Chain A
Amino acid sequence: MLIPHPLLGLRDAQEFTYLGDASLLNRPDGMAEGAAEAFYDYVYLRDNPAGVHRELWFHEQGDRSWLVVTRNTVTHEILGAELARDVALAAKGGAQ
């Protein structure tokens, strides 16, 4: 597979390490009420879609960026890739 790195262009997927669903960006607050339930959901439950999936890849053999890659799990077609940091910052900005 080839991953369109937003800074470096098309890179072989072998340069990357896969983590999983990009929902891992949304870590709950560990000091909040009901944190155990929120963390159970965050750590263990997955939508696991057959179709478009937003997922985390780490450019371990490259620039060490974490990316959010949007990929179809049925066809493996890649629809886009963003820096995870940008996605996370945007989400935090939106929350404020």
Chain B
Amino acid sequence: MSRLSGGLIDRSQSLRFRFDGKDYTGHPGDTLASALLAHDVRLMGRSFKYHRPRGPVSAGSEEPNALVELRTGARQEPNTRATMAELYDGLIANSQNRVGSLAFDLLAVNDLAAPFFAAGFYYKTFMWPRAFWEKLYEPLIRRAAGLGSLTHLPDPDDYDKGFLHCDLLVIGGGAAGLAAALTAARAGARVILADEDFRLGGRLMAESHTLNDLPAGDWIAQVQAEFDSLPNLRVMRRTTVFGAFDHGIYGAVERVSDHLATPGGRVRQTLWRITAKRIVLAAGATERHIPFANNDRPGVMLAGAMRTYANRYAVSPANRVAIFTNGDDGHRTALDLIAKGVEIAGVIDTRAGAKALGKYPLFAGAVVSNTKGRLGLKSLEITRDGQSHWIEAGALGVAGGWNPNVHLASHHRGRPVWDESTLAFLPGADLPPGMVVAGAAAGRGTTHQALTSGAEAAVAALAGLGISAALPDLPRAEDAPQAQAAFWHVPGKARAWVDFQNDVTVKDVKLSHQENMVPVEHLKRWTTLGMATDQGKTSNVTALAVMAELTGKTIAQTGTTIFRPPYTGVSLAVLGGGDTGTHFRPRRLTPTHEWAKAQGAVFVEVGQWMRAQYFPRKGETTWRETVDREVLATRAGVGLCDVTTLGKVDVQGADAAEFLNRIYANAMGSLKVGMVRYGLMLREDGHAYDDGTCARLAEDHFVVTTTTAQAGPVYRHMEFARQCLWPELDVQLISTTDAWAQISVAGPNARALLERIVDGFDISNEGFPFMACAEMTVCGGLRARLFRISFSGELAYEIAVPARYGAALMGRMVERGADLGATPYGTEALGVLRIEKGHAAGNELNGQTTALMLGMGKMVSTKKDSIGAVLSRLEGMAAEPRRLVGLVPVDAAEPVTAGAHLFEEGAAQVTETDLGWITSACYSPHLGSAIGLGFLAEGPARMGQVVIAANPLQGQAVRLRVVSPHFIDPEGGRLRD
């Protein structure tokens, strides 16, 4: 079949493309499906279960059959609807879900065995022997199932997301949508018009109707010209609004460059989040078919789609075409095809009183009862009054009525309502707020109705915003009532398809009924009806009409399944919006990051932060070697570590002390100015939440530090306490984590080093004792805060300077401390130092532990009300036997492994005998063996005893001796000197 006349294709250009290895040409304006049909290719796919040969049934996004793998390599896109794939030069597509070629699919053997594969069959078999499911049955099923294939290559394209706001979002660019957008935009409203197609016009492009007695294209062009002149209107073609979310937010995908061979420098697709005050849903309607025996052959398609192919794409699926209809609409297709020179073999109308509208054979009161043609329709059987005969036709258009596209109207769970007069589910009253439905989506499907209801919808929607819009002069358009009979399927014994892609037949619906799977959701799930890529757009209403017939209920009583987003499939890549790879989450860098990089530091991800893990030096071959050096250098000289990532909260106000007293489990109000205290926070449920230090810089000014991981949550929690619990207190909070660079200076030479940089401030042990704090200047006038606190157990300080000076300060200290052994250390050495000292960190403060377990039970003051204090005393918490202990291997060569569980020697190792677990472990260069911290039941009573650290996961069972968690300087002399 060569091309028909007319159409919206640009014949001046030829586009080459390849399908299943064969080369073809088409024109701009074609889809892959129309271009293939122009070459008489009707066979484009295979069905899901039976692998039946299939061609396109539609010309739009509802297509269930003509699914292909578009493009190749990393850009291969499975399940792409040939009816939506815009043709471009060099397009390559391959058929899918086949073994062998499309014409000779070996899995078509399934079709021969179809009786065994009826609805629900797999629930009844494959149970014996048990092990065969994973080994034999399931792999076979999985290989046969699925549709297209995904390569395992990373998607090479870029994606973006964006936000749009408007007064009115018009969804659908057909007659109703154009009229709505025109009306609203002329009134000055901010309007977005979105349509999934690459051209505006909707079904105006598919029909031969005139507007004001001129081709509809003239009016569309005129409207487009006006649109171009209206700055308050944004027209978004190739944009599918896929979901209606809360508060006027709509999700939309713009296929920016899917119509190009490659995106070039552009993104492939953009995810738009559109916030609309009002919405006109003008999404049109989807035609339904009529199941009859073997109604799924390539060449059998929707009659409306045939008009689209003929009028818009100038192509007919065959030279000789028949029409099967239950209403007037099918006759239109016959007339349009005749006008294009296609031969009509006959119009088969289920209505006995049907009249022909033109010169074609009419079979009134008849049905199509069977078809022939393995890879494409050849002939069909017409049955009238029990008499059958065959006629030849290469294509059959089926017109079963139109289902309004109510999906977005139902995304807030409002159910559509059955309307007997239009034989359709119409949007119900329970629409998403702000939405008005117009045109065929509202059951107002004549061109006149679509235009006027679209304009009226815009006027009504804008009235709610106080914008008064005038109805435009709309063109004169057809308004013929469409008579239709409620005819849902042709009875018969052979298989008649309801859901093409998933191979659900009328027989399956009947079996579902027979087996008492009657509620629509059971029907859907038992048969897989409507679960294909088209989500039942072409099948659901037909199936539930059949079910209604079987149960004797009305269609209204039978009801629909739930409409859920997305309206059509949305690529996962665009939903991810391009935040892939290292862009998945932000990267926060410490003030000394670049400096550390220059020192050759190895970095590690700590939440969002990148922290220096260790600083390898030339000649060091393992990370352990480096870490051991850093630890020993710190304990022998002085170590420097960037601890900026710890959360810092500035607390000020007359009631700051009282506020902190309530926030911390231990007393904080009594802290003297110029001093620091360790603080433990509980959650209100009584468990340990976070720890850190609290420094009192002035009577009404404190600085609180938190752990790195909890900096955000603790600040939020403190604001909650301030605003929600105790708003009467005079206290203000601000997070200063990013404002101050903070460096830990630890080791016996720490003071000597600091004395070289502070501006004449007395930091002698007497002038600045353990747990002192002060504001001062360093390096000749730089503002600084100094805290004498120690995480390592050494004489130690933390010094804070404005963040932008962090790197300079670090550099200066390393330089000035060279003779003191100043050594930068990373998080690994930090971890070793704190484990050696027995300080709790994230592994011990994991949200499941208590002050009691941490050995800090006495810190929870009973003399005041503080968050978590009351529930920390509940019987179950008070009876908790596990305590933090230190653990060393009996044989110093043995490992200590965090995550191992602790048992008594000789005890069976089961849940009931589990005494605790190792929280943190490291190699201690100071002790010359591995060490660990852990929670152990009756820990203090077991001091000196041996327990088994069982780690069956890694085949370990190590004898450990229970010791104090303070491996270093348990008396604390070093940090006080």
Chains A and B share a contact (CB less than 8 Å)? yes
Which residues 864-918 of B sit at the A interface, judged by CB distance below 8 A?
864-866, 869-871, 873-874
Q: When each residue 57-81 of chain A gets 1 if its CB lies under 8 Å from chain B and 0 otherwise, what string results?
A: 0101000111000000001111000
Do A66 and B249 have beta carbons less than 8 Å apart?
no
**Residues of the B chain whose Cβ atoms lie less than 8 Å from the Cβ of A92:** 727-728
Distance, CA A26 to CA B796, complexed state (A): 42
Segment at the interface with A among B55-63, B281-289, B449-457, B718-726? B718-726
Is B247 positioned at the interface, with any CB of A under 8 Å from its CB?
yes
Complex Cα distance A30/B872, Å?
11
Q: Does A45 sit within 8 A of B, measured CB to CB?
A: no
In the complex the two chains form, is A31's CB within 8 Å of B248's CB?
Answer: no
Give Cα A27–Cα B865 distance, bound, in whole angstroms.
Answer: 11
Residues B871 and A66 in contact, CB atoms below 8 Å apart: no
Q: CB-CB contacts of B722-765 with A at 8 A, as 1s and 0s? A: 01110110000000000000000000000000000000000000
Q: Is there contact, CB below 8 Å, between B249 and A19?
A: no
Give the CA-CA distance A31 to B661 in the complex, in Å.
14
Given contacts A76-B246, A77-B433, is CB(A85)–CB(B723) below 8 Å?
A: yes
Bound form: Cα–Cα A89–B725 in Å:
9
B871 and A88 contacting across the interface, CB-CB below 8 Å: no
Question: How far apart sit A78 and B433, CA to CA, in the bound complex (Å)?
Answer: 12
The tally of residues in A whose CB lies under 8 Å from a CB in B reads 33
Partner of A88, one of B246, B723, B866, B874: B723
Best-surrounded residue of B248, B720, B723, B865 (most CB of chain A within 10 A): B723
CB neighbours of B684 from chain A (8 A) = 27, 39, 42-43
Contact across chains for B871 and A36 when beta carbons are under 8 A apart: yes
Give, as a whole number of angstroms, the nearest-CB distance from B734 to chain A. 9
Give complex CA distance A1, B864 in Å.
41
Chain B residues with Cβ below 8 Å from A28 are 870
Residues 214-250 of chain B, each 1 if its beta carbon lies under 8 Å from chain A, else 0: 0000000000000000000000000000000111110
- In the bound assembly, the distance between CA atoms of A85 and B720 in angstroms comes to 9
Report if A25 contacts B (CB, 8 A). Answer: yes
Question: How many Å lie between the Cα of A88 and that of B723 in the bound state?
Answer: 8
Contact A30 B866, CB 8 Å, known A58-B719, A66-B719 = yes
Q: Is the CB of B727 within 8 A of A2?
A: no
Chain A contacts with B in 13-48, Cβ cutoff 8 A: 17, 19, 24-25, 27-31, 35-36, 39-40, 42-43
B727/A36 in contact, CB under 8 A: no
Chain B residues near A56 (CB, 8 Å)?
720, 724
Of chain B, the residue at the smallest CB distance from A83 is: B723
Q: How far apart sit A83 and B275, CA to CA, in the bound complex (Å)?
A: 25
- A16→B848 CA distance, assembly (Å): 26
Q: Are A88 and B870 in contact (CB under 8 A)?
A: no
Cβ-closest chain A residue relative to B863 = A31
- In the assembled complex, B685 has its CB within 8 A of some CB on chain A: yes
Q: A31-B865, A58-B720 are in contact. Are A85 and B727 (CB under 8 A)?
A: yes
Binary A-proximity of B688-732 (CB < 8 A = 1, otherwise 0) = 000000000000000000000000100010011001110110000
B716 touches A35 (CB 8 A): no
Looking at the complex, which one of A27, A36, A66 makes contact with B874 (CB distance below 8 Å)?
A36
Q: Is A89 within 8 A of B873, CB to CB?
A: no
* B720 contact from A2, A19, A35, A39, Cβ within 8 A: A19
Out of A36, A42, A64, A83, which one reaches B719, CB within 8 Å?
A64
CB distance from A42 to the nearest CB of B (A): 8
Q: How far is the CA of A35 from the CA of B728 in the complex (A)?
A: 22
Question: Are A78 and B865 in contact, CB atoms less than 8 angstroms apart?
Answer: no
| Contact flag A89-B728 (CB < 8 Å), given A35-B870, A58-B720, A66-B719 | yes
Give the residues in chain B near A19, CB-CB below 8 Å: 720
Shortest Cβ gap from A3 to chain B (Å): 9
Nearest to B719 among chain A residues (CB) is A64
A-B interface contact total, Cβ < 8 Å: 69
- CB-based nearest B residue for A87: B724
Residues of chain A contacted by B719 (CB below 8 angstroms): 58, 64, 66
Residue of A nearest to B721 (CB): A27
Most buried by A among B685, B724, B866, B873: B724
Q: Are B720 and A27 in contact (CB under 8 A)?
A: no
CA–CA, A66 and B717, complex, Å = 10
Residues of B288-326 contacting chain A, CB below 8 A: none
List chain B residues, Cβ under 8 A from A66: 719-720, 723-724
The docked-state distance in angstroms from the alpha carbon of A65 to that of B684 is 21
Question: CB distance B871 to A39 under 8 Å?
Answer: yes
Q: Is the CB of A30 within 8 A of B870?
A: yes
- Give every chain A residue within 8 A of B275 (Cβ-Cβ): 2
Provide the bound-state CA to CA distance between A35 and B684, in Å.
Answer: 12
Bound CA span A76–B866, Å: 35
Identify which of A29, A36, A85 contacts B873 (C-beta below 8 A). Answer: A36
- Chain A residues positioned under 8 Å from B246 (CB to CB): 1-2, 76
Q: Is the CB of A60 within 8 A of B723?
A: no
A1-B246, A31-B865 as given contacts; A25 in contact with B873, CB under 8 Å: no
Contact partner of A29 (CB less than 8 A), chosen from B685, B716, B727, B865, is B865
Cβ–Cβ < 8 Å partners of A77 in chain B: 433
- Whether A30 lies near B727 (C-beta < 8 A) is no
- Check A85 against B865 for contact (C-beta < 8 Å): no
Q: Say whether, besides A43-B684, A92-B728, A2 and B249 are in contact (CB < 8 Å).
A: yes
In the bound complex, residues from chain B placing their C-beta under 8 Å from that of A42 are: 684
For B866, give the chain A residue with the smallest CB separation.
A30
Q: How far is the CB of A56 from chain B (nearest CB, A)?
A: 7
Is there contact, CB below 8 Å, between B247 and A60? no
B875 vs chain A, min Cβ distance (A): 9
Q: Which of A30, A84, A89 lies in contact with B869, CB distance below 8 A?
A: A30
Known: A30-B869, A31-B865, A43-B684. A2 touches B248 (CB 8 A): yes
A65 touches B723 (CB 8 A): yes
Which B residues, 248 to 268, have Cβ-Cβ distances below 8 Å to chain A? 248-249
**A39–B870 CB distance below 8 A:** yes
Q: Within 8 Å CB of A83, what residues of B? A: 723
Contact across chains for B724 and A17 when beta carbons are under 8 A apart: no
**Residue from A17, A31, A35, A84 in contact with B723 in the complex, judged by beta carbons closer than 8 Å:** A84
Residues of chain B within 8 A (CB-CB) of A89 are 727-728
A19 to B869, CA, bound (A): 21
Known: A17-B716, A89-B728. A1 touches B685 (CB 8 A): no
* Given A2-B248, A2-B249, A30-B866, residue A43 in contact with residue B685 (CB < 8 A): yes
By beta carbon, the residue of chain B nearest A93 is B728
Contact indicator B725/A27 (Cβ below 8 Å)? yes
Complex Cα distance, B245 from A31, in Å, reads 46
Tell me which residues across on chain A come within 8 A of B720, comparing CB atoms. Answer: 19, 56, 58, 66
Contacts of A75 in B (CB 8 A): 412
State whether B247 touches A88 (Cβ < 8 A).
Answer: no
User: In the complex, how many angstroms separate the beta carbon of A60 from the nearest chain B beta carbon?
Assistant: 6
Does B247 contact A24, Cβ atoms closer than 8 Å? Answer: no
Measured between C-beta atoms, what is the minimum distance from A59 to chain B in Å?
Answer: 10
Minimal Cβ-Cβ distance residue in B for A78: B247
**Separation of A56 and B725 alpha carbons in the complex (Å):** 12
User: B759 CB to closest chain A CB, in angstroms?
Assistant: 35
* Minimum Cβ distance to chain B for residue A47 (Å): 18
Quote the shortest CB–CB distance from B169 to chain A (angstroms): 15
**Given known A2-B249, A2-B275, A36-B874, contact A30–B865 (CB-CB < 8 A):** yes
**10 shortest interchain CB distances as A-B pairs:** A30-B865, A2-B247, A85-B723, A66-B723, A85-B727, A1-B246, A39-B870, A76-B246, A88-B727, A35-B870
Seen from chain A, the residues whose Cβ lies within 8 Å of a Cβ on chain B are 1-2, 17, 19, 24-25, 27-31, 35-36, 39-40, 42-43, 56, 58, 60, 64-66, 75-78, 83-85, 88-89, 92
Provide a sorted-by-A list of 27 A–B residue pairs whose CB atoms are within 8 angstroms. A1-B245, A1-B246, A1-B249, A2-B247, A2-B248, A2-B249, A2-B275, A29-B865, A30-B869, A36-B870, A36-B871, A39-B871, A43-B684, A56-B720, A56-B724, A58-B719, A60-B712, A60-B716, A65-B723, A66-B720, A66-B723, A76-B246, A76-B247, A83-B723, A88-B725, A88-B727, A89-B727
Known A-B contacts: A25-B724, A28-B870, A66-B723. Give 15 more (CB < 8 A). A2-B246, A2-B247, A17-B716, A19-B720, A25-B725, A30-B869, A36-B871, A36-B873, A39-B871, A43-B685, A56-B724, A58-B719, A84-B724, A85-B724, A89-B728
